Structure 1
């Protein structure tokens, strides 16, 4: 499974007190304290956890706050978690709040909204909504925070980044992964709290304390799973759900990952065909031999990293992460081509720079925790495979995405979540039946490399909502300034609750 940062989807003031109101259905009495809490907005600078966020959060347009939620909803009187959020206040007559999640899992909604604020500055959505980017529990500025590997260990490639299937050779190694994640994240109870089921409940608390009777939500990729699970859990609290790049509700976790690998290979093939139109393409001018050419370039990095100016070197996993992340949008293909050409000439600086963006490594050498959060969240969501099932999965992955085949026998492996302190908390299939909610809007791109188009079709069906099909080859498009057609339809839906006609289609 590839770790690609959600930020790739999108290439101060006086404190204010806000009193939460109750929704149309009263919360459980033992949760009333959380639903009715007052939150105080304040300048965002202290919320930054990375150097990049430090610069973004200094913008006086934003204010930030923390919301108290139970660490374990079964024990509301027990330890607490804090969900951090960033607000871009509405410029005009306000409808309410719009919660935003960029995907991942592990993507920081706070950072995402801060990055997109300039793009949205004059748009209709930020005129009518307080745009709220929140960090799901375990992520970014929220607490407790998922932490499994140090920055130095990530630099050395000792985490799971760039691995198609995490390398966990035996049961002892699986126990060590779980233990180090528990130790770094605040203990087993904290580690077990990082999952979609709890984030969905946190979202309902956020809705209430922000003063909204019903939720308006915009989510990409994994964020579609959050939105749809919210719809199933709190259908009476839904106003609008705009979901872009859907996780397929008809597939098991294993089936979805295999479909994703197939789509990534298809994206590589499109990238290679585009590159082959140039005589100096580092993969050659025959697209049919591009996989072989790519392997010839990157497999030697397993034994000898390519030199880089900072002395770290570019290893095999780094190169794979860099190129895979660039496949998420044709706009990034030139970077991958340039980086591969440099690698063919013996250096790895350009690909390492792309890898660092994808891995959340800042210019100061510090990483965001989104990579650790991916595993912590998924380990509380997904079924654990037996060693035999894991071995078969690894063989299927290798067949599905041959450009990333390292050329070595598939090792015997245990599931990376095998020793997690609690069993997973999300059902499979992850939506258990038809969901009765107001009209929703699902956006699905025909050539999406990460969330195949069929997933959007299936999610729209399960939610009984509208589908907007988009001709394109990237992952994520809604309100990203890449298609006026898409942006107009999504904005009209969020503001006026108008859905497009059946068969609506746009182009990227």
Structure 2
């Protein structure tokens, strides 16, 4: 079962990289953070957190160091207990003067920033950037190594991911609603005290403690996907402490949950149409070699066939419509996965569902032993705190189905129902949709990809327009996010911004 507003970097690309198995600035000139006395203004009651010293140790991964950062569980009651946050870094390699720390976040919400650093960013970011910055990551509260939210056992999660998300009658609708309740109840029982305190605002405040502890006057940051919302939230809270922020694959913070979900649904349709147009040009396309429209019709028909009769996978789980849809969506994040998707669809249409199931498992971060990472649990926990639910109940979801199907004939129906994720959530939302302007922050670089499946390009345009100092950089291409994905034009522009503080000219486009 797809989770509502899963905004993340490509699971497939990260798997290849080894990671995997939603006032005025000081001077206002966008200067890089400087080592020295950190800013402590506005930290009353939090002094012990800002004054802590990190004890760095070997991570067991060559060249990387790890530490534990403490932050208050509840910022409104800083004496009421701590959360322990996992931090990792790789030191600047040189040559050249060190510019400070560069904090990275891969998105999700729920993606492990530490895993991303150690599996990709710390070794795969452009060499000039790694030479001048210590690359640093912190798993946000509730994620991976930082007080992880847990909800279901492996077998329970297996059952959850197979629930029919395109109900055809009252019985199937009731079963779907019951599955969301079971998920929410599991989180309430197993996540304990942390569940009401994993919002994006709290994660952004944690980042400011880390900035100060690292000795940086301003935060320098690269956030992908949901990480753009985290970075923009930081700039909103701490414009005087904001330095060079790259917001790649931007999210629009002004939209309510239902609209965010519908926009993302349209984004997956855009990506699927690009895949279909490519597929019909090759001889082995399982959707035919006619028009993209015919390929779309074949995809929809195959999903209906799986809804009526799942196919075997060689293990206890069958490939039904829900898992097949997730597998297809997983491949939309990176066009490099399109050949793999063609093969998986070909085999599934021949009655062998294992390859398409593997794509779905990569999306859910399911291991071969049947265990899951906490990605999906943290994803729901953060999203459900950040915004009120998309729908009050199944009746509202049903009413919204036509608008979702208009946004995506292929995925719309299932994603409309998946937006019920937060309806039964035990912790009430603390955030609301709103525009983020970050008045007084230096130039902030917003990056958008024209055919991005998970964060539609119009979100990048909107965020850049909202930010008082937003600068939009456009990648005319496919896939989710742009930095480090093969465009020299994009990488050169972002590198110049990070190293020199110079944003690209307004309206710059790359392909």
TM-score of Structure 1 vs Structure 2, range by shorter chain: 0.7 to 0.9
Q: Scaled by the length of structure 2, what TM-score is found?
A: 0.86
How far 1:291 sits from its partner (Å)?
2.3
Aligned to 1:54: none
Aligned to 2:81: 79
Unaligned residue ranges in structure 1 (runs of 5+) = 12-19, 45-57
Aligned to 1:181: 187
2:473 is the counterpart of 1:468: yes
The whole-number CA distance in structure 1 between the counterparts of 2:7 and 2:244 is 28
Aligned to 2:325: 320
The whole-number CA distance in structure 2 between the counterparts of 1:285 and 1:273 is 9
How far 1:503 sits from its partner (Å)?
2.2
Aligned to 1:111: 115
The structure whose RCO (Cα within 8 Å, separation 6+) is larger is 2
How far 1:400 sits from its partner (Å)?
2.1
Aligned to 1:29: 44
- Given candidates 406, 424, 429, the residue that maps to 1:399 is 406
The whole-number CA distance in structure 1 between the counterparts of 2:174 and 2:98 is 50
Q: Encode CA deviations 1:356-394: one digit per residue, 9 max, x unaligned.
A: 211111234321100111111111011123235433334
- Given candidates 188, 191, 196, the residue that maps to 2:195 is 191
2:442 is the counterpart of 1:438: yes
In the TM superposition, structure 1's runs of 4+ consecutive aligned residues that sit over 4 Å from their partners are: 2-5, 159-176, 405-408
The whole-number CA distance in structure 2 between the counterparts of 1:209 and 1:182 is 33
The whole-number CA distance in structure 2 between the counterparts of 1:353 and 1:6 is 18
- Given candidates 196, 202, 216, the residue that maps to 2:206 is 202
* Cα RMSD, aligned residues only: 2.8
Q: Decide whether the 8 Å contact of 2:112 with 2:143 is kept in 1.
A: yes
Aligned to 1:372: 377
Give the 3 Å change call, closer, same or farther, for CA 195–249 of structure 1 in structure 2.
Answer: closer
Aligned to 2:67: 65
- Given candidates 320, 333, 344, the residue that maps to 2:338 is 333
Unaligned residue ranges in structure 2 (runs of 5+) = 17-34
How far 1:194 sits from its partner (Å)?
1.4
The whole-number CA distance in structure 2 between the counterparts of 1:117 and 1:259 is 29
Aligned to 1:155: 158
The whole-number CA distance in structure 2 between the counterparts of 1:281 and 1:472 is 21
The whole-number CA distance in structure 1 between the counterparts of 2:414 and 2:70 is 49
Give the 3 Å change call, closer, same or farther, for CA 489–406 of structure 1 in structure 2.
Answer: closer
How far 1:339 sits from its partner (Å)?
0.5
Aligned to 2:312, what secondary structure does the other structure show?
Answer: coil
2:91 is the counterpart of 1:89: yes
How far 1:250 sits from its partner (Å)?
4.0
The whole-number CA distance in structure 2 between the counterparts of 1:393 and 1:151 is 31
Aligned to 2:451, what secondary structure does the other structure show?
Answer: coil
- Given candidates 256, 267, 276, the residue that maps to 1:263 is 267
299-308 or 226-235: which moved more? Answer: 299-308
2:287 is the counterpart of 1:305: no
The whole-number CA distance in structure 2 between the counterparts of 1:164 and 1:117 is 38
Aligned to 2:392: 386
2:432 is the counterpart of 1:427: yes
Aligned to 1:503: 507
Q: Encode CA deviations 1:275-331: one digit per residue, 9 max, x unaligned.
A: 111243211123212222113323333344322234433222221111111112211
The whole-number CA distance in structure 1 between the counterparts of 2:357 and 2:411 is 17
Q: Scaled by the length of structure 1, what TM-score is found?
A: 0.87
Q: Encode CA deviations 1:104-151: one digit per residue, 9 max, x unaligned.
A: 1111111111121475376111111111122111110001x1111211
Aligned to 1:272: 276
Give the 3 Å change call, closer, same or farther, for CA 239–3 of structure 1 in structure 2.
Answer: closer
- Given candidates 231, 234, 243, the residue that maps to 1:230 is 234
Give the 3 Å change call, closer, same or farther, for CA 363–181 of structure 1 in structure 2.
Answer: same
Q: Decide whether the 8 Å contact of 1:299 with 1:407 is kept in 2.
A: no
Q: Decide whether the 8 Å contact of 1:282 with 1:337 is kept in 2.
A: yes
The whole-number CA distance in structure 2 between the counterparts of 1:232 and 1:420 is 27
Aligned to 2:9: 6
